[in-house]
Structure 1
Amino acid sequence: MIVAVVYNPVRVDVPRVRAAVEAAADASGESDVELLWLETTPEDGGQGQARHALERGASLVLAAGGDGTVRSVAEALRGRDATLGIIPGGTGNLLARNLGIPFASVENACAVAFGGQMRRIDIGVAEAHRPDGSVSEHGFLVMAGLGIDAAMIASARPELKRRFGWLAYVDAAFRAYPNSQKVRVRYRLDRGQERSAHVSTILVANCGALPGNIELIPDGAVDDGLLDVAILQPTSVFGWLAIWRKVTWENRVLRKSSLGRRIIRFTDRAVRTRLSYLRGAAVRLDVDAPEPFELDGDAFGDILRLELRVDPLSLRVAVPSVG
């Protein structure tokens, strides 16, 4: 059995990861496990290394690093028989959070990678149409965003991300908010009618849990063959506070009980004009002037059009066993 470890040396403690992977391999019960260690580079965040692992016959490919490493490896494994194992080491650890994979312990994450169960999940595909006329395609696992969140991610300070993790985005948000303006977006779901809105942010998600106990998309699922769209249109700081209450309290706590859901019905009208949800298998976003966009918490430059779709159940991932 060939197991490849694609690791980002900047994001993970390499000696600790090596020790944890070797211990999990020994405990797996598999005989003759051959470990293939492949380091990411600034030029290749993991996609080329994962393809090399597949050429070598790897049946399990571990992504050890941040969300960018996980996304890059997943792009190479899309539609293949090999399984993705995740050893989280980044700022947000977004997919790991949504799949219940331990992100505070390298050893526990390795145990899941070798001894968990295989689950098939969707991959989002983003086709970016650039201002220079070029078109590029990228996979994403959690969400794509356009608006203030993309500007925030682009301006997040690397040194703060290394020291304080996802809290660095709070600093970036405070710096981005005063200069932010609403973006006019024309959007269309599937083959439906084109609509337009002036938004602070529009997010297209494969799943919806974020750091800080935020449940942005309460009904988002990684295996439903659909994308969930969140349109944020606050008109003031109080509007942002109402959205914050919804995604941290209503979505995460109240909606889980019948009493809480009744409370939401009485309070939801005030928030609905500021945060609305849509759902479809494909989404197209058009803007009048170049706007930055992000995928899974990484900046990807400017676009004039973003076409997003689902590749259903195209990725095999090792997740914690149930029961």
Structure 2
Amino acid sequence: MTEPDRAAPARVAVVYNPIKVDETRVRAAVDAAATNAGIADVLWLSTTVENEGQSQTREALDAGATLVLAAGGDGTVRAVAEALRDQDAALAIVPSGTGNLLARNIGIPLTSLDDACAIAFQGRTRAIDIGIATTTDESGASVDRAFLVMAGLGIDAAMMANARPQLKKRVGWLAYVDAGFRALPKSKKVRVGYSLDGGPTRLAHVSTILVANCGSLPGNIELIPDALVDDGMFDIAILQPKSIFGWLMIWRKVTWENRVLRKSALGQRIIRITDRAVRTELSYLRGSTVRLTVDVLEPFELDGDGVGTVTEVQLTVDPGGLKVRVPNG
């Protein structure tokens, strides 16, 4: 759902990660866009190692902000969104970092700081879904966290945990490829119990299970092409490759079939012929609530960031729970 913006925001705040962004460049681009929109006063709040943006966003809301720009990586965006959940204020993204997962799924430019800032101040406001993951660790303690793109358990979470910080800083998303090559030879199937919408629990041995709010990833990967960010549903991808050949089939599916072939009638006919073979390696489900359980502690990730190990995760959709700025048109 998209809402028209009838007036400039009463107060604007920027929550920024000083490690991820060039503060001088970001301030210049934001100030230029703010001036163009007739806004003189912008509140700047820096994240810290101890607080990734939740308390800074709440401070901005207390100061009367109706628009909060998140300038940083996916962790910063997720933290700001968590504090903006079910609030009247809107989130705007100034992309930085390695993945920019939500930005690429809602059409925010990744290579033009000026264009991203222009959308922040003069774009449309769209209500999108936000996911809530309630994780339980070995002590039985539970924590609620928001996520915007996807949650994962299995080899993808191990990749996030194994990504070397210095390499990630130098080469961005390619650091996860390096982590993947290191994790794959040692990976083993995870025995997962999963249930959808309160239904019966099913057991599966998976390499990865992903619960997605939207489906585009870096590297021209369309993991779940039918996922919509505002349909009130999760799309679940279950990866169960039996061999390296199975991984190659999945790779072909998410980089070629989902991204290219499905856009034409001929391509769709080709997919129908080949789809049966890959279906045992990669399957899709849908639901508005998902419960995952594992027998032993397993790593878990949200929007590309490892959040520790879990024994159980309950995931629910908050439909239209977040307002974001998106391009006009």
**TM-score category (smaller protein):** over 0.9
| Partner of residue 183, structure 1 | 190
| Partner of residue 223, structure 1 | 230
Give the distance between the partners of 2:40 and 2:13, measured in 1 at CA. Answer: 10
Letter in 2 for 1:320: P
Q: 1:19 aligns with which of 15, 24, 28?
A: 28
| Partner of residue 300, structure 1 | 307
Deviations 1:73-127 (A, max 9, x none): 0000000000101001110000000000011111111011011110000000000
Give the distance between the partners of 1:38 and 1:103, measured in 2 at CA. Answer: 22
Deviations 1:195-248 (A, max 9, x none): 110000000000000000000011001100000000000011110000000000
| TM-score using structure 2 length | 0.96
Deviation at 1:154, TM superposition (A): 0.2
Deviations 1:44-100 (A, max 9, x none): 000110000000000110000000000000000000000101001110000000000
Deviations 1:10-30 (A, max 9, x none): 1000000000000000111x3
| Partner of residue 255, structure 2 | 248
Deviations 1:159-190 (A, max 9, x none): 11111010000100011111111000000000
Q: 2:204 aligns with which of 197, 201, 219?
A: 197
Q: Helix, strand or coil for the counterpart of 1:181?
A: coil
- How many residues of Structure 1 are paired with residues of Structure 2 in the alignment? 320
Q: 2:288 aligns with which of 269, 281, 284?
A: 281
Q: Helix, strand or coil for the counterpart of 2:31?
A: helix
| TM-score using structure 1 length | 0.98
Q: Helix, strand or coil for the counterpart of 2:228?
A: coil
Unaligned runs of 5+ in 2: 1-9
Q: Does 1:106 align with 2:113?
A: yes
Unaligned runs of 5+ in 1: none
| Partner of residue 80, structure 2 | 73
Give the distance between the partners of 2:147 and 2:268, measured in 1 at CA. Answer: 31
Q: Helix, strand or coil for the counterpart of 1:139?
A: strand
Letter in 1 for 2:249: A
Give the distance between the partners of 2:198 and 2:157, measured in 1 at CA. Answer: 26
Q: Does 1:163 align with 2:162?
A: no
Deviations 1:279-300 (A, max 9, x none): 0000000000000100000000
| Partner of residue 50, structure 1 | 57
Letter in 2 for 1:158: P
Q: Helix, strand or coil for the counterpart of 2:249?
A: helix
Give the distance between the partners of 1:262 and 1:77, measured in 2 at CA. Answer: 43
Give the distance between the partners of 2:46 and 2:34, measured in 1 at CA. Answer: 19
